[in-house]
Structure formats: structure tokens, C-alpha cells
Amino acid sequence: MFESSNLGFPRIGFQRETKNALEKYWKGEISEQTLLEKTASIRQQNWAIQAEHGMDSIPSNDFSLYDHVLDTICMLGAIPPRYQQIAAHFNLSIYFAMARGKQNTDLDIPAMEMTKWFNTNYHHIVPEIEPTTRFSFTYSKVLDEYREAKAAGYETRPVLLGPLTFLLLSKTHTAKFQPLSRLDDLLPVYQAILAALYDAGAEWVQMDEPMLVKDLTPDVRAAYHSAYQLLGASAHRPNILLAGYFDSLGDNSDLAFSLPVEGIHLDMVSGEDQWHLLKSHSIPLKILSLGVIDGHNIWRADLENILSKIHNLPASLSANVQIAPSCSLLHVPQDLTLEDKINQPVRNWLAFAVQKLDELSALTSAANTHQKSDLFAENNAALQERETYIRNKRAHHSIQTPQPLTAGRSHPFSIRKDKQQQVLDLPLLPTTTIGSFPQTSDVRQMRSRFTKGEINQQDYDAFLRQKIEEVIHLQEQIGLDVLVHGEFERNDMVQYFAEQLEGFIFTKHGWVQSFGSRYVRPPIIFGDVERPHPMTVDWIRYAQSLTSKPVKGMLTGPVTILQWSFVRDDQPRSQTCFQIAHAIQKEVHDLEQAGIKVIQIDEPALREGLPLKKKEWQAYLDWAVHAFHITTSGCRDETQIHTHMCYSEFNEIIASIAALDADVISIEAARSDMELLKAFSDFHYPNEIGPGVYDIHSPRIPSTGELEDLIKKALTVLPANQVWVNPDCGLKTRGWQETLPSLKNMVAAAQNVRDKIEMRK
Ligand code: GLN
Ligand code: ZN
């Protein structure tokens, strides 16, 4: 009656073997053959682990050499023509060129675009679909990996990205054309793949359609309907488990349950409301897969509570129930037992991918036999310990919660503006940068020597002060108006703060794939967040002491710190965000005390925190804005608050961006050719804006002329006294050889435009 099942396992290897093999292969140090052998052994290991840990249903084709959306593009033959010239037939050099670009003496093809995978921090390649795209079953990986598993003795359930989600994630370069209109051409390829899997012996496939948790238009729903009618109609195919995850199916649940598939997977963690749905729906399915273990977070599960919900399922439920993670385990670290850095008690509260397999099998056997394994008692004890620990600590520190609802600046921008100008005395079109300067090898080397204990704190600090002094002088020479200290002391804009705040811990081996061979170790927020001491003040004060020009204090905002961490699940995310905001507020005040007149609070992750369903957007935006207000409340009118966001889609959230009430916002604009500024001008955005005039993602040096044109373009939609001139984002990934001339050109461009405005007066 109950089976355990998994939707996907991390692909990075226990010792990051995949990264290792890929990077060696890219450098030409190992052959393709060796790469394939090494990655095959990771798959073998993954299947073995899942079997050993009691999974009745194990996935295949969840592995990827780079990204599963890229795999799907290649599977379907939707390879953009610019990559097809690399080889006559599909091969790995085409595959990796799509992922990473290809540059040699006669070719210079950039990589395909990447974007975040739903609400995770995983990035996928964006398919490009045109009216002319020819679909055919090209990359046979899904079939190969199914056979590979079978040969090794594992009967697996291959994972496919479904046709609708695939097309809905696609972009196009063709005007007035929608990738979805190619559905009818795409479906025969899916039919062929299903038939091939069936012939190879596959009994089931997992068809991932996470788009089903988003808001769908009637057209898209109709497309779901007709596509699955067609796929379902064939007798020559495996059973289909349709998987929606990252949220509840919501308004699409009737649609999903009406499709001719044999199984449905529901995310019961993010879509908790769906327990209710199961009571009312008649479910004529072979399998109902319940995602009860959080595949997107790292906490031990409340097994008792889940089991009681499973026991309460209606007796009329005829489907076999699979007990599964809410989504693929791709989004959590692999194995807690590798971890030697996390101290108790927190370590005991965690479950990584392997531990989640144990939870799944414990639940399954308890559901079947009514016998609870020891894990139930262990998890219970851990959860109780966690609660007690946090409660005691809270009592001890008297942390204020909940927060008052009024926060923010004491006077409106119109009043602050003049006071700030009196203090800062900035020219028209002031120039600045976003914060970081090139993190060159000397900076990285010194940091690594310091972390290894090869140099002492004093020498390391002296080195950092030296770097700060260099960039302050350089910025004065370049002629920038508002200077920065360069962020040389920071490894990462979130980690730097998280390491100094209470309530966070870090892992040593908790790697999670971000994209391709890039893995991250997100901080874990386990408890109440507090700031025991100033985090940035000494550096900024030092930088300010070297110049008479204003130096910007540089902070990461609460939403971004939240978004890029694993967040405690025992209180609302908003609550945790407010706590972080209070910590940042203290830093803002200390910077003010130290005489800093301009403070930037970066929120690059504000937009990506938007919920998947639109009806939940406003509630999120409200608390995100409130968190920002907490960081700036109590700060003097004269202090100029900046914020920075590196994206350009503001149309739908412009009201909340304005509500942040930052005195100055810097945004990405160069790549979209200032088009986004229309959103600000249509809205009559009241405060000041620095549209990024050059794209820092490329080593190209923009000319003074083209920068001038961009500034002028900005001035066609915004009044000059509202505009700042700055790059798109921080410069830490750039080299000095392009940074220096680019900034000089930028300052010259700003000066030229100022001169022209003066002349007209
Ligand atoms: N201040 C940060 C920097 O310049 C901002 C980075 C970001 O927006 N992601 O590096
Ligand atoms: Zn940025």
C-alpha cells in the first residue's frame, strides 16, 4: 500500500567528484572517456545509496553533466543553430558550448542564458525556441541512463522535464511568437522518447511539470489538456507520474487530476493545504506520490506529525501511496555524516539528502507496519531540543519579537534630499560604483593564507588596509564622486555578514549545485539572529579617513541574506527577516555614528523572493519592504541611503521598489539599453536612480561615446537631477585592466553630459 520513492538525488558526488572531473575535462587534463567513466560511477554510487537506504522507487536521468534543462534541450534537438556549426552531429563539445560558450581562433559563441529554477538558488539554461527550431530525439541520455541502471540491477523511474514546462521556460528572439505555439511539433518527440523507454522496459516515468504550481492562463491550461491527452492516448508508453512541486497545484489541481496520467506527485511541504484536497478528490490513479519530506530545506522532519496525516488519509483512496521528498533532493547537501564542522546541538537538528532517504523509509515502513523505527524517537527528541534551546536562548537575550509595524525614515524624501545635498555637495549626475573592486589573485591568496593560519590577523588587516588605500586613491584619480572601500575583506556578500551574526552556522561539506560545476555552501539560519558587534564599521571608517569625498558604507540587506541561506522553518520567514533587519539597523546606526554619510543596503535578491503564485506576491513584498524600513529606521535625514538590485524587471513590483524609500537605487540597465527606465518614469518614481551604464558581466571596455549615449537615453525619460551614473553591479569579478579605463570613460561621459546641460542653461 505504501512505497518509498525519490524524485532526484544530488549529482555532485560526495567529494564533489563531478566538479573535479568536469573542470579537469574542460582544461583538457582528462579525456571525454574518463569524464564519462567518472560520472558513471557517481550515478552507480547514487543508485546504490538510494537502494541501501530503502527506496522502493529510484530515479534515473536525474544526473546531469551540467543542467537538466540543458539536457532536455539537447534531448529534443532544440539546439540553436549557432552551436550546430561546432560539429556535424550532437556531441559534448556542442553541449558544453551551449553551457559555457566557445571561443577559439575561428569561433566566438557566447553561452546560452541562465536563470533561476523556480524559487530555488539553482540556475538552469534557458531554452531558445524559434518558429524554425527542428525537434528530434537527439541526446539519448535518458534512455542510456535507464539502461545503465538496469544493467547494474536497478529498476529506475526515468525523470523527464515535461513538454509544457519546457516550452514555458523557453525564450525566443522572434517577435510576436510564443514558444508554446510549437507544442504540436514537440509532442511527437516526447511520444518517441516514451515509446523508446517503454521498449527498453521502463514501467514508469516521472514527468516533471513544476509549471503546474504557477498561475496558468486558460490557453496554457488548454495546452496541458491537449498535450497530455495525446501523450496519454498511446498504449506504447510507460505509466506517467506527473510531478508538480515547489508549491501546491492550487487552481490547477482540477486540471492536473483530469489528465490521463497514472500518477501524480504533490508537494505536501510547500503545498500543505493539499492534505485537504485529498479528502475531496476522487483519485483514479495507480500512484499518488506525497512529497512529505522537505527537499528544499535541511531540517529533520516531524515524522510523527507526517505519519498521523498519512494515517488520516481517506480509506477510500484506492491509489498506492508513495512517500517522497517534496521535490528533487538536488537542492540540499548530500550527507550530514561528512560534516565535521557543525557543532551540537545544531548538527542534531539537520537532515541532508541521505538522512532524508532514511526519513522516507522510516515513514514508509511505519505506514505499512504500524511499527515506528528508532528514527521517530530520535527526530522527536531533536525537535524538542531545538525548541527548548531556542526558547531558552530567547529568554536569556530578551529578543524583541514580534516587531512594531512602523519603521522607516522620519521625513519624506523631498525633505531629506536638500539636507543630504547640503552635506554631500554632489554635482549633477553624480558618479559612483556598486561596492566591490576586482578581487585579484593577491586578494584571494591572502585570504586563503589567512584562513589557513599562514598569516596572522595583524598582517592580514594591514594588507586589507593597503588595498583600501589603493582603491581610495585610484577612485580620487578617476574622479568618482562617491567612493567605496572595495569589499576586499569579503568572501561573499552574504557569508561575510552571516559569519559575524549570531543565529547562523556554516557547513564544511554542505555543497549544493548552483549551476554547472559551481556549488555553494549556503549559511544555515538556525536561531534568533543578533549582531553582537559592528561588522563593517572599522573598514569603512578607515576608508573615509583617507579622503574628503564621501565613502559609502556597504551592507547586504535582510531579504538577500535570507534568500541565500537555508532558513529555520519554526517561524515565518518574515519573522526571521525582521530579525536580520534589526541587526543591519544597528550597523547602519554605528556607521552613522562613525561619520559615514552614505550607506548602501544591497538587495539583489529581493525580486527572486517573489512567491510562485501571484496572489501571494503582495504579502511578500509588504514584509520585504518592512524589513528594509527596519534597517533604515531611526537614521538621520542627512544620511543618504542607497540600495542596489542587479536585474531589470521592475514593471510589476515598481510600487514596492518605490515604497522602500531608498534615497538612491542603482539597478541593472545597460544590457536592456535603458528600456526598464520607462517603468520608473511611468510610475513617477520619486527618488534618485542610478541606471547601470555599463555591463560588468563582460570584459568589454565601453567607450566614452557609447556611455554618453546611454546617459542621454536615460535623460530622455528621467530628469537630470534624479539620475546617477554607475556600473551595473559590483566589479569583483573583473580585472583592473578593463575596470580602470571603463570607469575613466564613465566619469568622462558623465562630465560631458553635465557640460552640455550647463551650456544649454
Ligand atoms: N555591493 C556588492 C558588490 O559590489 C553588490 C553585489 C550584487 O549586487 N550582487 O559586489
Ligand atoms: Zn548587483
Domains along the chain? 55-80+112-391 (3.20.20.210), 413-760 (3.20.20.210)
495 Cα: distance to centroid of ligand 1 (angstroms): 13
Nearest CA, atom 10, ligand 1: 730
pLDDT digits (tens, 9 = 90+) for 524-575: 999 999 999 999 999 999 999 999 999 999 999 999 999 999 999 999 999 9
pLDDT confidence tier of residue 398, bands split at 50, 70 and 90: low
Cα(15) to centroid(ligand 2), Å: 31
- Does ligand 1 come within 6 angstroms of the Cβ of 433? no
pLDDT, tens only, 414-447 = 999 999 999 999 999 999 999 999 999 999 999 9
Mean per-residue pLDDT, 385-391? 96
- Average of per-residue pLDDT across 204-214: 98
Q: Which of 2-6, 31-35, 341-345, 753-757 has the lowest mean pLDDT?
A: 341-345
pLDDT in the model for residue 213: 98
434 lines ligand 1 (CB under 6 A): yes
Instruction: Output the pLDDT for position 401.
Output: 53
Asked if the bond preceding 345 is cis, omega within 30° of 0, the reply is yes
Tens of pLDDT, residue by residue over 258-295, are 999 999 999 999 999 999 888 876 778 999 999 999 99
Nearest ligand 1 atom, CA 560: 9
CA-based nearest residue to 330, from 689, 69, 26, 614: 69
User: How far apart (Å, rounded) are the C-alpha atoms in residues 461 and 464?
Assistant: 5
Pairing of strands 552-556, 512-515: unpaired
What type of residue is 306? I
What's the pLDDT score for residue 406?
66
Atom from ligand 1 closest to the CA of residue 490: 10
Cell numbers at residue 161, please?
522535464
Strand duo 320-325 + 156-161: pairing: unpaired
Q: Does the annotation place 16 within a ligand binding site?
A: yes
* Segment 698-716, tens digit of pLDDT: 888 999 999 999 999 999 9
- Element containing residue 388 per DSSP (H, E): helix 374-397
Is the omega angle on the peptide bond into residue 59 within 30 degrees of 0, that is, cis? no
Q: Which band of pLDDT confidence, cut at 50, 70 and 90, is reported for residue 317?
A: confident
- Using a 10 angstrom Cβ sphere, with 0-12 exposed, 13-18 middle and 19 or more buried, the burial of residue 397 is exposed
Q: Considering the chain, what is the average pLDDT of its residues?
A: 95
Check: CB of residue 554 under 8 Å from CB of residue 432.
Answer: no
Is 26 assigned to a binding site?
Answer: no
Q: How far apart are CA 97 and CA 79, in angstroms?
A: 11
**Angstrom distance (rounded) from CA 668 to CA 672:** 8
| pLDDT at residue 645 tops 80 | yes
Cα(444) to centroid of ligand 1, in Å? 17
Quote the DSSP letter at residue 337.
G
Residue 223: what residue type?
A
Grid cell for residue 438: 576586482
Which of the ligands is closest to the CA of residue 729? 2
Residue 634's closest CA among 423, 410, 403, 416?
Answer: 410
C-alpha cell of 513?
549545485
**Angle, alpha carbons 367-369-374 (nearest 5°):** 80
pTM of the model: 0.96
435 closest CA partner among 478, 486, 476: 486
**Which one-letter amino acid corresponds to residue 617?**
W
Confidence of residue 325 (pLDDT cuts 50, 70, 90): very high
**Nearest Cα residue to 15 out of 48, 47, 38:** 38
Owner of C-alpha cell 525633505: 415
Q: Please, are residues 426 and 664 in contact by the beta-carbon 8 Å criterion? A: no
Query: Which ligand does the CA of 491 lie closest to?
Result: 1
**What phi and psi, each to the nearest 5 degrees, are found at residue 54?**
85, 20
Taking the C-alpha atoms of residue 478 and residue 547, their distance in angstroms, rounded to an integer, is 14
Q: Which residues surround ligand 2, an ion (CB under 5 A)?
A: 604, 646, 729
Specify the DSSP element, H or E, that contains 642: strand 640-645
Q: For residue 399, name the pLDDT band (cuts at 50, 70, 90).
A: low
Residue with cell 564599521: 537
Nearest in space to 146 (alpha carbons), one of 95, 190, 91, 205: 205
Whether 493 lines ligand 1, by a CB cut-off of 6 Å, is yes
* CA distance readout (Å), 410 to 419, 593, 634, 640: 13, 18, 7, 13
Whole-number Å distance, alpha carbon 644 to ligand 2 midpoint, is 6
The C-alpha atoms of residue 351 and residue 377 are separated, in whole angstroms, by 15
Distance CA 757, CA 749 (A): 12
Measure the N-to-C terminal CA separation of the chain; round to a whole number of Å.
82
Over residues 226-249, the pLDDT tens digits come to: 999 999 999 999 999 999 999 999
d(CA 421, CA 419): 5
Within 10 Å of residue 690's Cβ, how many Cβ atoms? Answer: 27
Nearest CA to ligand 1 atom 6: 730
> In degrees rounded to 5, what are phi and psi of residue 704?
-55, -40
Relative to the CA of 729, which ligand 1 atom is closest?
8
**What is the per-residue pLDDT across 49-65, written as a single tens digit (0 to 9) for each?**
999 999 999 999 999 99
121 is in an annotated binding site: yes
Contacts of 600 by beta carbon, 8 Å cutoff, 6+ apart: 434, 435, 552, 553, 554, 555, 641, 642, 643, 644
Work out the average pLDDT over 483-495. Answer: 97
Among 121, 484, 514, 729, name the best residue to mutate to test ligand 1's pocket (greatest count of ligand atoms within 8 A of Cβ): 729
What pLDDT score does 500 carry?
98
Higher pLDDT, 741 or 282: 741
C-beta 730 within 6 A of ligand 1: yes
Determine contact, residues 5/322, Cβ cutoff 8 Å: yes
Residues taking part in catalysis: 697
Cα 156 to Cα 12: distance, rounded to the nearest angstrom:
19
With contact defined as beta carbons under 8 Å apart, do 589 and 661 qualify? no
Is 564 labelled a binding residue? yes
Lowest-confidence region among 282-286, 317-321, 395-399: 395-399
Please indicate if the annotation marks 434 as binding a ligand: yes
Q: 701 burial class (0-12, 13-18, 19+ CB within 10 angstroms)?
A: middle
Phi, psi (degrees; rounded to nearest 5) at 304? -55, -45
Look up residue 262 and give its amino acid.
Answer: E
Strands (E), 128-238: 156-161, 204-208
Q: Is the model's pLDDT at 370 over the cut of 80?
A: yes
Ligand 1: does its nearest atom lie under 6 Å from the Cβ of 645?
no
